[in-house]
Structure 1
Amino acid sequence: MDPTLEFGAGSTILPQAMKEIRNRRLLTTAVLAERMGMKPRTYEDFESGRGPMSLPRLFLFAEATDSDPFGLILGEIFQSLELAVETTDTKFPMIMIMSFMDFIEKVGVDIAYLDPVLLIEAFKKIFEDIESKGLDRDKFIRRWIEGRKGRISMQDMLARLMKRRKTEY
């Protein structure tokens, strides 16, 4: 399997998003290169879109910047810089993927028998609930000022998966 992302020539969403996230985190390219185990020039090529855009590198970037790799990927797919950048702190796509992984572990191949209408209705309800209860900017800012709690990262997601697998054996 080739883990290189192929989103089309001339894509600018991922490079722009990575630069914006790096800037929001107040990181230099040299510091981020070091965190990712790269030479500064290699990192600069990666961030600019000139170097290979592989899934392992994208996940490494997300870990090094405490951002959401799935938000970056979805931002590229939907051509939305805002989606890629604004999910950085909430980890919304990562949380969805983690929840989906939990669900798959429970239902397994029976996922094939789910009714699409049920899924549409369920997701519509979930997103309506989030919209009505969760979009409180003042509350978010207060929590942010008090200090971020409950960090969610790729390591956390993988650790949860490994812990579950160990209990299965």
Structure 2
Amino acid sequence: MDAETKGVPPASNHDGALLSAALRAVRRLRGMSSRDTADAMHMPLRTYQRFESGETRPNLDHIHRFARATRSDPHALVMAVAIGAPELAVHTADNHLVTILTVGLQTYNRTQGDKIADLDVRAIVSAVTAMFDQLADATAAQNEARAWIRTGQDALAKARPKPGR
């Protein structure tokens, strides 16, 4: 488990448990208490606690209010439940990947309409696979650049004269 997903407990396949794990992980990522989050969502603390604990049925209005309060991706919270991976909500809290995908799909639906039904499954799989491969390549390149910068910073620090009188 990487540092960003630390604190995401293994969740059961129950929708409420999956959503609960995602909500708790995002709230903790943001350094917010339950009280802070409830206040930011304009709801009583006990109502928020029932929502976060999964005691209530998943509620889209609450999910969107939570996302606004935590500056996270509401569509990733829903998708985290759909794919059984609460950590997705943490991974996409800042870049809003799932919201971007959702906006793209909304635009595609609006522009293509009925033509979507005529798409060959192979074309869809190919396009989606290519997109995710491209994103994986971008991540790898970004990680290489960060490693290069860290190595360079270390070298600069080693070469710098020691302070003294």
TM exceeds 0.5? yes
In structure 2, relative to structure 1, the CA distance for the partners of 1:10 and 1:110 (3 Å cut) is closer
1:71 counterpart (68, 76, 95): 76
Task: Supply the AA of the counterpart residue of 1:76.
Answer: V
2:19 counterpart (4, 9, 14): 14
> How far apart are the structure 2 equivalents of 1:81 and 1:127?
19
2:64 counterpart (59, 63, 67): 59
Map of 1:36-51 to 2, 5 A cutoff?
A: 36-51=41-56
In structure 2, relative to structure 1, the CA distance for the partners of 1:49 and 1:11 (3 Å cut) is closer
CA-CA distance at 1:115 after TM superposition: 1.6
> Which residue in the other structure is 1:164 paired with?
none
Structure 1 position 119 matched with structure 2 position 113: no
1:22–1:28 CA contact under 8 A, matched in 2: yes
Task: Supply the AA of the counterpart residue of 1:104.
Answer: N
Count of equivalent residues: 135
Quick check: which has more Rg, 1 or 2? 2
Stretches of structure 2 lacking an aligned partner (at least 5 in a row): 1-11, 147-165
Structure 1 position 23 matched with structure 2 position 28: yes
> Which residue in the other structure is 2:154 paired with?
none
Stretches of structure 1 lacking an aligned partner (at least 5 in a row): 1-6, 141-169
Percent sequence identity over aligned pairs: 28
Task: Supply the AA of the counterpart residue of 1:25.
Answer: R
CA-CA distance at 1:81 after TM superposition: 2.2
CA-CA distance at 1:137 after TM superposition: 3.8
Q: With structure 1 as the length reference, what TM-score do the two structures score?
A: 0.71
2:18–2:80 CA contact under 8 A, matched in 1: yes
In structure 2, relative to structure 1, the CA distance for the partners of 1:95 and 1:139 (3 Å cut) is farther
Task: Supply the AA of the counterpart residue of 1:72.
Answer: L
> How far apart are the structure 2 equivalents of 1:30 and 1:73?
23
> How far apart are the structure 2 equivalents of 1:124 and 1:101?
19
CA-based RMSD:
2.4
> How far apart are the structure 1 equivalents of 2:51 and 2:133?
38
> Which residue in the other structure is 1:83 paired with?
88
1:76–1:84 CA contact under 8 A, matched in 2: no
- Runs in 1 of length 4+ with deviation above 6 angstroms? none
CA-CA distance at 1:47 after TM superposition: 0.7
> Which residue in the other structure is 2:108 paired with?
103
Cα deviation digits, residues 16-75 of structure 1 (max 9, x gap)? 111111111111211211111101111111111113421111111111111112211222
